[in-house]
Amino acid sequence: MLQYCYTEFGLKTDATLSGQIVVRIVIQPDGTVSDVTVPRHSWSGHAADLVESCLHDRVLRWQFPTAQRASTHEIQLIFGR
């Protein structure tokens, strides 16, 4: 699902786009994702904003198992050809 953002929105706009990003997600006790941010990124090429916007929208739809309290997690993603 996240690779789709890179291939469809990134590479189709800029075939040279590559980079790393960190996605921070906040998961609520009911398992829903309430916040998605990109605190760090390093891109070479254009279209990074399109990829990050797509990632944000898709991660917001994720559902996790229920928990006793909210939690925050960071996921590092590396995109390249």
pLDDT in tens, 41-57: 999 988 999 999 999 99
Task: Give this prediction's pTM.
Answer: 0.89
Number of domains within the chain: 1
pLDDT over 80 (residue 81): no
Domain range enclosing 65: 2-79
Q: For the residues 9-13, what does the mean pLDDT come to?
A: 93
Burial of 13-41, coded b for 16+ CB within 10 Å and e otherwise, reads: ebeebbbebebebebeeeeebeebebeee
Identify the three-state secondary structure at position 79. Answer: strand
CA distances from 74 to 21, 35, 48, 77 (A): 10, 12, 19, 10
Q: What is the CATH number of the domain that holds 46?
A: 3.30.2420.10
What is the C-alpha end-to-end distance of the chain, expressed in Å?
17
